[in-house]
Amino acid sequence: MTFTIVFLIAFIASFGLRHWLSQRQIRYVAQHRDQVPAEFSEKITLAEHQKAADYTIAKLRLGILENGVSAIILIGFTLLGGLEVLNITLLQLLGEGITQQIALLASIAIISGLLDLPFSWYKQFHLEERFGFNRMGKKLFFADMLKGLLVGAAIGIPLLWVILTLMAKSGDLWWLWAWAVITVFSLLMQWIFPTFIAPLFNKFQALEEGALKTQIEALLKRCDFASQGLFVMDGSKRSAHGNAFFAGMGKAKRIVFFDILIEKLNPGEVEAVLAHELGHFKCKHIRKRLLVSFALSFAMFALLGWISTQVWFYTDLGVMPNLNGYNGGLALALFMLVSPVFSFFFTPLSSLASRKHEYEADGFAAEKSSAKDLISALVKLYQDNASTLTPDPIYTAFYSSHPPAPLRIANLQRFSS
């Protein structure tokens, strides 16, 4: 029962901390709802500022409800015996073996997806709709869901089969081989996703010839950056939010702009946004993040390799393992359910590193493009995406991958002066 107590303490602490942080953010944003920060007063109207506050608060309240439901589901699967019932039922239907273990993991994914469906529906067709961001029809919503399920099954089931086979047949160091497989798979996905998967969901068209393309190609030349191409993605068929991103690695690198971004920003601003994204590449942020993710997954697999052999890991979480047989899928299921409770407390470290990278990428953009244009682009994006300009400092320190708007703009103004 010792691990039960440890798990419950971590569970209550993580749930309570999530709730406290969300309530802090709600109160802080609400308190600053009626006054635009002085540095934005000439660029953002009070109505836009209030819309951003209301949108932020609405998302947080939905998140609090999701957090509560997720907590109930987790306890239901573990200490209340849901996973045990599911495991026994599938054993009776399929018998012991890898097929049963894959079915167990797939069942958990399907059950979790079904329980999450009402939240996804509400967010898309009520919350996003209410604030004018939804452009997705119900037909596309279900088409995306079906495609996602099929792609997930086509990729996930073979991968699970390999991992579970390694767990069963490669001895005590199975976790090392499994980590190697996941690492290679992650690198392959950097090529597979933009080339084969993303086009199943969106159309990607080459950026048209013209002043914008000429300006961007000049930027790429200045930055000594070679890409497979410049593409525009039809993100507007789902949402009014805009963005730009890199996809792929090595020679498969491609630059993708949301069509909304091209519509809303002028060529100089688009160039500045791209220069920021190039900054992530040139400052080796992408490589560093990959290496960190590989190191973390190595540690997690090593931990799983040890903990999966401990009977208390199962029994203290409401599950009876097969003491003389194979528990690969059961170990994976429990680990994936429980580990986020503990890893949550490390969130501020990843957030801090991400904010540092954003500042560095902004500095690169200011050097290679224009700090003034990037400021102008960011202000438009804050407006169009209804991003709050007044986040709670503690909430920001814990969660935010990007610096708060006032600090980020102030930092960029150092380069434009």
Which pLDDT value is given to residue 248? 65
- What percent of the chain is modeled with pLDDT above 70? 98
User: What are the residue ranges spanned by the domains of the chain?
Assistant: 1-134+303-417
Q: Distance between CA atoms of 88 and 106, rounded to whole angstroms?
A: 15
Instruction: Look up residue 360 and give its two tokens.
Output: 């560095």
User: What type of residue sits at position 187?
Assistant: L
The pLDDT tens digits for 20-63 are 999 999 999 999 999 999 888 888 999 999 999 999 999 999 99
The pLDDT tens digits for 349-366 are 999 999 999 999 999 999
Return the DSSP state at 127. I
Sheet with 230-233, edge to edge strand ranges: 204-206, 230-233, 254-258, 244-247
Q: Distance between CA atoms of 409 and 366, rounded to whole angstroms?
A: 12
Is position 48 annotated as part of the catalytic site?
no
Is position 277 annotated as part of the catalytic site?
yes
| Whether 254 contacts 194, CB under 8 Å | yes
DSSP-derived secondary structure for 365-415: HHHHS-HHHHHHHHHHHHHHTT--S---HHHHHHH-SS--HHHHHHHHHHH
Q: Is 241 annotated as a binding residue?
A: no
Which pLDDT value is given to residue 117? 94
Q: Is 280 annotated as a binding residue?
A: yes
User: What type of residue sits at position 247?
Assistant: A
Q: Structure pTM?
A: 0.89
Which pLDDT value is given to residue 96? 87
The pLDDT tens digits for 282-294 are 888 988 999 999 9
The pLDDT tens digits for 112-144 are 999 999 999 999 999 999 998 888 899 999 999
Instruction: Choose the catalytic residue: 84, 128, 269, 277.
Output: 277
Q: Is 276 annotated as a binding residue?
A: yes
Alpha-helical (H) ranges within 170-203 are 174-192, 198-201
Q: Distance between CA atoms of 257 and 116, rounded to whole angstroms?
A: 29
Instruction: Choose the catalytic residue: 269, 271, 316, 362.
Output: 362
Question: Which residue is listed with tokens 């040139």?
Answer: 282
Q: Distance between CA atoms of 409 and 379, rounded to whole angstroms?
A: 9
Q: Return the higher-pLDDT residue of 145 and 240.
A: 145
